[in-house]
């Protein structure tokens, strides 16, 4: 049977990952959420390339409407051009007046409200200037950032996007001392085991090792233990492979009740954030109901016995 001889402190495991795991090679790809940029993104050209309409309306010269008002309609010499949002501005126009600011009847136009130069207009380079650094290397792309890159007409980026099996292995089950548990033995046969047994609750039977240059993280079979390891060691490993520089969003909130934790084990506690406070949902073993309600988590260090009710703790994202 597989046997755990000692529990390796969580921080030692993370430090071992940093020492052994190198960022993967870069790939040129179309931007997608989850990728980590391997190089700064520099804007290739002004965006927009020419002044453009910010809204639908009448393209006008603002000084021609200066004296207009709802009680003193101002005749215009010509009917102004209608533009949709995103259309290039006509060369003689410097503002986009709302639909109701101009009345057009029988081929004649009257201004019913004044306009200010620049109203309703995105100037050339108003979104981004040529040669401006838009995003820094190490940034993890989100859906919003992918749209930003599309707006800047950037179709290819240099990224690090770790792929399972090709760049790393995260497997679940077979890490304990059961009759059929042999995941750690198989890891030892194909590569080397850096640690079997991590001082974290839940998840003590997890293992980390290397096959060739490929890092391998073996998770316990239980869903709560596997989740705790993914949130702590798994995220760290993927961040190392992708050379990500972004920091997980975290914030402080008071606990609604005390948390008791055993000394010597770092402990992941699922919490439910509501009404400006964090409610601890489970400790040790996580019931399914606790995992279903959780929207955040806290980490109790191995040297701490927990926190009293009302203590401010750091809440990390559950996603």
Q: What is the pLDDT of residue 249?
A: 82
For residues 153 and 285, what is the distance between their CA atoms, to the nearest angstrom? 49
How far, CA to CA in Å, does 147 sit from each of 26, 32, 72, 84, 254? 21, 9, 44, 20, 36
| pLDDT digit string, tens, across residues 264-303 | 999 999 999 999 999 999 999 999 999 999 999 999 999 9
Q: What is the pLDDT of residue 231?
A: 97
Architecture of domain 250-317: Beta Barrel (2.40)
Q: What is the pLDDT of residue 243?
A: 95
The pLDDT-based confidence of 75 (bands split at 50, 70, 90) is: very high
The pLDDT-based confidence of 48 (bands split at 50, 70, 90) is: very high
The CATH class of 52-122 is mainly beta
Exposure class string for 268-295: b at 16+ Cβ within 10 A, else e: bbbbbeeeeebbbbbbeebeeebeeebe
The CATH class of 8-24+163-242 is alpha beta
The pLDDT-based confidence of 67 (bands split at 50, 70, 90) is: confident
CATH of domain 27-46+134-160: 3.90.105.10
For residues 221 and 223, what is the distance between their CA atoms, to the nearest angstrom? 6
For residues 229 and 257, what is the distance between their CA atoms, to the nearest angstrom? 25
Q: What is the pLDDT of residue 247?
A: 79
Tell me the mean pLDDT in the region 123-151: 95
> 5-9, 68-72, 279-283: which has the minimum mean pLDDT?
68-72
Tell me the mean pLDDT in the region 39-62: 95
Tell me the mean pLDDT in the region 52-76: 91
Report whether 290 contacts 270 (CB < 8 A). Answer: yes
Q: What is the pTM of this model?
A: 0.84
| pLDDT digit string, tens, across residues 205-219 | 999 999 999 999 999
Q: What is the pLDDT of residue 1?
A: 74
pLDDT exceeds cutoff 80 at 70: no
pLDDT exceeds cutoff 90 at 69: no
Q: What is the pLDDT of residue 319?
A: 78
Tell me the mean pLDDT in the region 121-127: 95
Provide the β-strand partners of residue 248: none
Q: How many residues does the chain have?
A: 319
How far, CA to CA in Å, does 170 sit from each of 207, 224, 238? 10, 16, 10
pLDDT exceeds cutoff 90 at 128: yes
Please report, for the chain, the start and end positions of each structural domain, with discontinuous segments joined by +.
8-24+163-242, 27-46+134-160, 52-122, 250-317
């Amino acid at each position: 049977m597989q046997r755990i001889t000692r529990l390796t402190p969580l921080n030692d495991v993370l430090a071992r990952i940093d020492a052994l795991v190198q960022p993967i090679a870069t790939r040129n790809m179309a931007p997608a959420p989850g990728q980590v940029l391997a190089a700064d993104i520099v804007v290739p050209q002004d965006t927009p390339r020419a002044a453009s309409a910010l809204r639908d309306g009448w393209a006008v010269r603002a000084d021609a409407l200066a004296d207009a008002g709802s009680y003193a309609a101002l005749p215009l010499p010509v009917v102004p051009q209608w533009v949709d949002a995103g259309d290039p501005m006509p060369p003689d126009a410097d503002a986009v007046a709302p639909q109701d600011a101009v009345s057009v009847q029988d081929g004649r136009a009257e201004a019913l409200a004044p306009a200010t130069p620049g109203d309703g207009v995105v100037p050339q380079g108003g979104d981004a200037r040529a040669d401006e650094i838009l995003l820094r290397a190490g940034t993890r792309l989100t859906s919003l950032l992918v749209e930003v890159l599309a707006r800047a007409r950037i179709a290819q980026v240099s990224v690090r996007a770790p792929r399972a099996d090709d760049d790393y292995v995260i497997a679940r089950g077979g890490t304990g001392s059961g009759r059929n548990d042999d995941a750690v033995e198989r890891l030892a046969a194909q590569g080397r085991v850096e640690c079997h047994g991590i001082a974290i609750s839940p998840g003590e039977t997890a293992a980390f090792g290397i096959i060739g240059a490929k890092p391998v993280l073996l998770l316990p079979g239980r869903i709560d233990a596997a989740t705790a390891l993914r949130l702590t060691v798994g995220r760290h490993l993927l961040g190392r492979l992708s050379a990500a520089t972004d920091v997980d969003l975290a914030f402080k909130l008071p606990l609604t009740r005390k948390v008791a934790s055993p000394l010597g084990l770092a402990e992941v506690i699922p919490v439910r954030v509501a009404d400006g406070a964090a409610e601890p949902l489970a400790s040790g073993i996580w019931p399914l109901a606790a995992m279903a309600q959780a929207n955040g988590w806290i980490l109790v260090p191995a040297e701490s016995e927990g926190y009293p009710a009302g203590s401010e703790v750091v809440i990390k994202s559950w996603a």
